[in-house]
Amino acid sequence: MSKAIVIGSGFGGLASAVHLIKKGYDVTVLEARDQFGGRAGVFKKDGYTFDAGPTVITAPHLISELFESLGEDPKDYYDLLAIDPFYKIIFDDQSSFDYVGDEERIIENVRALNPKDVDGYRKLAEHSRRIFDVGYTKLAAVPFDTVSSMLRVAPDMIRLENYKSVYGLVSKYIKDERLRQAFSFEPLLVGGNPTKITSIYLLIHWLERKWGVHFIKGGTTSLVAAFVELLEKKGATLKTNASVDRIEVEGGKVKRVFTTDGSAYDCSVVVSNADPVRVYRDMIEEKHRSTHTNSRLKRKSHSMSLFVAYFGSDKTYEHLAHHTILLGPRYKGLLNDIFTKKILADDFSLYLHAPTRTDKAMAPEGHECFYVLSPVPNNLSGLNWKDEKEIYKDKIYKWLEARHLPDLADNLTVDFAVTPDFFEQELQSEHGAAFGIEPSFTQSAYFRFHNRSEDVEGLYFVGANTHPGAGIPGVLNSAKIIDKIIPGEGAEK
Ligand SMILES: Cc1cc2nc3c(=O)[nH]c(=O)nc-3n(C[C@H](O)[C@H](O)[C@H](O)COP(=O)(O)OP(=O)(O)OC[C@H]3O[C@@H](n4cnc5c(N)ncnc54)[C@H](O)[C@@H]3O)c2cc1C
């Protein structure tokens, strides 16, 4: 049986392991951290379960089909719960908008905020559907590794006005600034600046309307556990505390990988879910890399980072939705501070996660658990987060207490936070980028890291840094591409 190594156990890595098993490989997953899941890790403290990262589950069929592909019933592994509204968006003037999937209801909610934008919203949704039909249905799970693959889609991209930004295209149809923000913030969930990122990403709106927004009972961490259970049942070996530091190449092909403790793993296929900048630069000698030279790797631009504070309270806040977007006084200016100027602004826009709204078991009885996330510049900012961390966290708590969580300070039970340093050091992500390389036009599709290495035979990449990009649906689709391009076990020898 040919041996395949998967470096990293984010959702892209776990899904790739499923595909490799199906193809007949002997699969070993090597994870550097002491737990599986990558950005979808977990912090468990004093009876609270804090999902560390992804909380919004979309396109759930991409998950269930992986379990089914190995002959298992997903219902035996995890429970999917529908979320309604998808998000509550609260603007700086305290007006709010419930972002829902049902067409009539979302139109009523647009009307309640600004009746003049109802027709515009209908046109925007239709445009989003057309982008989805091309950008998602036709292109999300196909390899983009030739110039011709890119040229083939160029006419569609022009027709669909993908040269405009998400915010730019939303503004063509919507006039109310609050609704412009409500329909354009989502690229932030994949690391892109809404005012710069190509409007292809408007497909997220239609994807959510079509398949809904969900939560996994027990948190996203339960889904990671479900994948681990599935993979172990099907014969894969999964190791934690196994950080890969070298890939040995012989005759242009992968031969074995080494972990920092000196263990060696022979293999004919390596699927890397780790940051490709680091894999190429730090794990493979430069003489084997004519495409991904160190100087080219240096030119990549990286997504923004995140500050995330996790906290529990012994008071419940029933008025909150499961997912709340709290928009601050500035939109474009704040985005510019985060993405371009790379400074920590005085104001912020936040995402507040309140999973106990859906699943009480996430916290002790009568308590709530939360996380609050603030997009911040990546570590090219030069900020010293050791100094900033507590100050920034307290500032956010005070703001939340004054506006949304009365008496928070008196009821806080546990709290801690992660900064861009967590992404840089713990998740081994270049410059602490929370979503891998930036999803700019010049780093998307053909211009993103290819799923098949141009430099080393038998080396493949999966996950947020590859096409189609970050987010759980994105990385699961990148694993589907791996499934298409890696030969079956018999064909390997
Ligand atoms: C706070 C936060 C909230 C998010 N919210 C959502 C959401 O609600 N919905 C959504 O769809 N997406 C969300 N995302 C994005 C989504 O979580 C990610 O895009 C996705 O999970 C990334 O998966 P991945 O396959 O790229 O692997 P990653 O999760 O990046 O995992 C890569 C793994 O590789 C390991 N690794 C790295 N280097 C090595 C090495 N040398 N040796 C061994 N292992 C190594 C790392 O430890 C890590 O476990 C969120 C992201 C963050 C950070």
Q: Is residue 358 located within the same domain as residue 453?
A: no
pLDDT of residue 490: 55
Task: Flag whether pLDDT at 492 surpasses 50.
Answer: no
Cis ω for the linkage preceding 276 (within 30 of 0): no
How high is the pLDDT of residue 154? Answer: 82
Q: Is 10 in the pocket of ligand 1 (CB under 6 A)?
A: yes
Of the chain, the percentage scoring pLDDT greater than 70 comes to: 99
Q: Indicate if the pLDDT at residue 493 is higher than 50.
A: no
For ligand 1, atom 5: residue with the closest CA: 54
Looking at the chain, how many residues does it have? 493
CATH of the domain at 165: 1.10.405
| Of 157, 191, 212, the domain-final residue | 212
Residue 290 CB neighbours (<10 A): 9
Ligand 1 atom at shortest distance from the alpha carbon of 15: 25
Ligand 1 close to Cβ of residue 189 (< 6 A)? yes
- Same domain as 350, residue 287: no
Chosen domain end from 212, 241, 260 = 212
In this model, does residue 112 exceed pLDDT 50?
yes
Instruction: Please work out whether the CB of residue 64 comes within 6 Å of at least one atom of ligand 1.
Output: no
Q: Is there a single domain that holds both residue 269 and residue 184? A: no
Verify that 341 and 228 share a domain, yes or no. Answer: no
Looking at the fold, whether 337 and 417 belong to one and the same domain comes out as yes
Is the residue at 87 inside a domain? Answer: no
* Ligand 1 site, residue 422, Cβ cutoff 6 A: no
Neighbouring residues of 144: CB distance < 8 A, sequence distance ≥ 6: 150, 445, 446, 448, 450, 467
pLDDT tens-place string over residues 324-360: 999 999 999 999 999 999 999 999 999 999 999 999 9
230 shares its domain with 128: no
Is residue 253, in this structure, part of any structural domain at all? yes
Regarding the beta carbon of 308 and ligand 1, being less than 6 Å apart is answered yes
Mean of per-residue pLDDT scores for the chain:
95
Query: Would you say residue 97 lies in a domain?
Result: no
For residue 36, how far is its CA from the centre of ligand 1 (angstroms)? 10
Residue 61 CA to residue 361 CA, distance in Å, equals: 25
Say if residue 418 is in the same domain as residue 309.
yes
Residue 90: inside a domain: no
What's the pLDDT tens digit per position in 141-183?
878 777 777 778 888 888 988 889 999 999 999 999 999 999 9
Q: Does an H or E element contain 437, and which?
A: none
The answer to whether the CB of 201 falls within 8 A of the CB of 185 is no
- Predicted local distance difference test score (pLDDT) of residue 156: 86
Max Cα-Cα span within the chain? 66
Q: Does a structural domain hold residue 260?
A: yes
How many degrees, rounded to 5, is the angle at CA 466 between CA 152 and CA 281?
A: 125
Count up the domains in the chain and report the number.
3
The best mutation among 273, 426, 480 to test binding of ligand 1, ranked by most ligand atoms within 8 Å of the C-beta, falls on: 273
CA dist., res. 211 & res. 231, Å (int) = 26
CATH number assigned to the domain comprising residue 237: 3.50.50.60
Please identify, by atom number, the ligand 1 atom nearest to the C-alpha of residue 462. Answer: 25
- What are the DSSP calls for 295-319, one per residue? HHHHT--B--EEEEEEEEESS--TT
281-328 residue pLDDT tens: 999 999 999 999 999 999 999 999 999 999 999 999 999 999 999 999
User: Could you give the CA distance from residue 82 to residue 356 in angstroms, rounded to a whole number?
Assistant: 14
- The CATH number given to whatever domain includes residue 399 is 3.30.519
Q: Which atom of ligand 1 is nearest to the CA of 475?
A: 25
Reported confidence tier of residue 88, pLDDT bands at 50, 70, 90: very high
* 417 and 447 co-located in one domain: no
Cβ(17) to ligand 1 under 6 A? no
Among 169, 195, 212, which residue terminates a domain? 212
Cα 443 to Cα 193: distance, rounded to the nearest angstrom: 13
User: Is the C-beta atom of 463 inside 6 A of ligand 1?
Assistant: yes
Nearest Cα residue to atom 41 of ligand 1? 244
Q: Is residue 96 part of a domain?
A: no
Question: Which domain range does residue 7 map to?
Answer: 3-44+52-79+217-300+439-492
State the pTM of this model: 0.96
Domain check: are 371 and 352 in the same one?
Answer: yes
131 exposure class (CB count in 10 Å sphere: 0-12, 13-18, 19+):
buried
Q: Is the pLDDT of residue 241 over 60?
A: yes
Query: Which SS3 state, helix, strand or coil, does residue 466 take?
Result: strand
Tens digits of per-residue pLDDT, 186-214?
Answer: 999 889 999 999 999 999 999 999 999 99
Closest ligand 1 atom number to CA of residue 14: 25
Using a 6 Å cutoff on CB, does residue 476 contact ligand 1? no
How many Å apart are CA 230 and CA 77, to the nearest integer?
Answer: 8
* pLDDT tens column, 22-76: 999 999 999 999 999 999 999 999 999 999 999 999 999 999 999 999 999 999 9
Handedness of CA 116, 117, 118, 123 (dihedral sign): positive
Shared domain check, 223 and 187: no
pLDDT score for 446: 82
Closest by CA position to 58, among listed 338, 471, 423, 422? 471
Q: For ligand 1, is residue 56 a contact (CB within 6 Å)? A: yes
Q: Is ligand 1 within 6 A of the CB of residue 83?
A: no
- Decide if 88 is inside a domain: no
In a domain, 329, yes or no: yes
What are φ and ψ of residue 410, in 5° steps?
Answer: -75, -20
Could you tell me the two tokens for 459?
A: 């080396």
Is the Cα dihedral 8, 481, 488, 257 positive or negative? Answer: negative
Q: How many CA atoms lie within 13 A of 300 on its CB side?
A: 30
- Do 61 and 133 reside in the same domain of the chain? no
Q: Which atom of ligand 1 is nearest to the CA of 279?
A: 41
Nearest atom, ligand 1, residue 36 CA: 49
* Domain shared by 412 and 336, yes or no: yes
